Amino acid sequence: MHLFEKRERFRSRGLWLSILAFGLIAVIFFMMLGQVSTRASDHQTSILEDALRRAAITCFAIEGHYPPSLQYLIEHYGVIIDDEKYIVSYDVFASNIMPNIRVLLIGEGSEGEVWG
């Protein structure tokens, strides 16, 4: 009779260890999923920024000056920006100097800034 009681205690301990291990694996999985999502968003932001720079350089090569505004790039060079997802900073100093282009994901910023 004494052996049967010990087996029951071991079974319940094994059940709790299994539940704990499953919970730990689930937490790790969701943390990794969040990191993958963040990396994908960062990658999309850099792709948009590169596309804007290439369009500005193309404009300079064709027309002899950099685009005067972001709207000019959109209208004449077919750049598409999702305004609900990104904020684009396009600062022009002079027509012969490359504009400062910065793309931020709405809701995230550098140094703890929040946009949107």
Tokens at residue 40, please? 């994908």
Tell me the domain boundaries of the chain: 2-112
pTM of the model: 0.63
Rg (CA), the chain: 27
- Residues 113 and 106: their CA atoms lie apart, in Å, by 10
> Between helices 70-77 and 2-63, what is the axis angle to 10°?
80
Tokens at residue 39, please? 């990396």
Residue with structure tokens 């029951």? 8
How far apart, in Å, do the first and last CA atoms of the chain sit?
68
Residue 22: its pLDDT value, please?
A: 84
Q: CB 99: neighbour CB atoms within 10 A?
A: 21
Sorted by sequence, the CB contacts under 8 Å of residue 109 that are 6+ apart come out as 115
Per-residue pLDDT for the chain (116 aa), expressed as one digit of tens each? Answer: 555 555 555 567 777 888 888 888 888 888 877 777 677 777 888 899 999 999 999 999 999 999 999 999 999 988 888 888 899 999 999 889 999 999 988 876 554 444 44
